[in-house]
Structure 1
Amino acid sequence: MDYQACWDYQEELFAAAVSRKIAIRNGEELPLPENHLLYVEHPHVFTLGKSGEEENLLLTEQELNDQGIQYYKINRGGDITYHGPGQIVGYPIFDLDQFFTDIHRYLRTLEEAIILTLSEYQIEAGRIDGLTGVWIDGDGENPRKIAALGVKCSRWVTMHGFAFNVNSQLEYFDKIIPCGIDDKAVTSMEKELGRSLDMNEVKEKLSVHIANLFDVDFVN
């Protein structure tokens, strides 16, 4: 799905949840906001978070156009990242008042769902202190990121989310300084295992872990 179209859809769901919470707080008797988890693959696109540095994009506007890559400055935290085919991008629009009001715990919970999914494929992953995301060999000689996270949260409603490299075309990360980190590599499940993965299978496993960690049942 086109990045802008998906961003607009996120904003609609986000705004609906926030307005519902405001109405409830003002005394209206309404059901709690619905929670959504969107999975999407985007065409090649770079997105720059509001705390990011434009210098971390290594292409000119003309080069972006020539290579058919979109570029957006967006309203999530974090620096620059890449989305493209073969990558599971997850956008939870969650009302954290229904779960826990702790944004750091929220990020760690999303990371944990990805770590548990990777373990089902015998890929050992974890975290690096002070850096958001999921890493392989995080405390070793070759740390490499396999999933990036960047979120927005207002009135404890979240949007944006995570990008999980399954069969990603990793050469696109060479065109940016991913997340502003220039001394660590980026990897994918395909690169680690030496074979491509069934995207739907990975999504199903990931959904089970997210559902268990947030204690929810997803309805398609």
Structure 2
Amino acid sequence: MISLCSFAQQPNIAKLTPLPADSVVKATQDTVKESRRARKRREELEAKAKEPIIFKDSTRLAIEAKTTKAWKRSALVPGWGQKTNGGLWWIKVPLIYGGLATTVVVFDFNNRYYKELLEELAFRTEFPNASYQNPDYQYASTQGLISAKDYARRNRDLMVLLTVGVYGLNIVEAYVDSMLKYRWNIGQKMGVKVTPTWMYAPNGTLAYTKLPVMGAKITLQLK
């Protein structure tokens, strides 16, 4: 005799196990966060697309090229930008090189003076019994030499700063002059007109008269 038995299939416990609550919350937050990023990116692209596109004509580009050319040339060679701008460049260029030459000469003088004082102080420190090494400093005290040495060093360092300042002023002047010449046009003619006029006296000694007094009116004309 044959008997048949059937068994019901056991459910897959691993497949039916629910996800932890933390994983669901994290996945939801990542989805929301990503959507916020996408929305922010989309808004930025839309705002950028709405901005008007400004096309510069050839005249404006040529003017901008002239203004940048002047200061760049002065940065390469002092005075070159002033020559490019024209005008009173024949006065500006000698002033620039005169200032640079002055600072270099004064720097060299103070540097040599500083080194001489250092040598004299080093000699007196090494040979305390000897009075001096350089005859020019035979009557100078050690403390006086130290003060003179510090003074020469300060002047030498100051000349370095002044040299950089003259060089930077050369670049700034070339840039400002080019801007005034090519961009900020206030007219080629400027006139001053002086005309007589009647004015009432201010509160003071003549206020009791209540009569106008003679004056002058100055008019500045820009054409």
- Using the size of structure 1 for normalisation, the TM-score is 0.18
The structure whose RCO (Cα within 8 Å, separation 6+) is larger is 1
TM-score by length of structure 2 reads 0.18
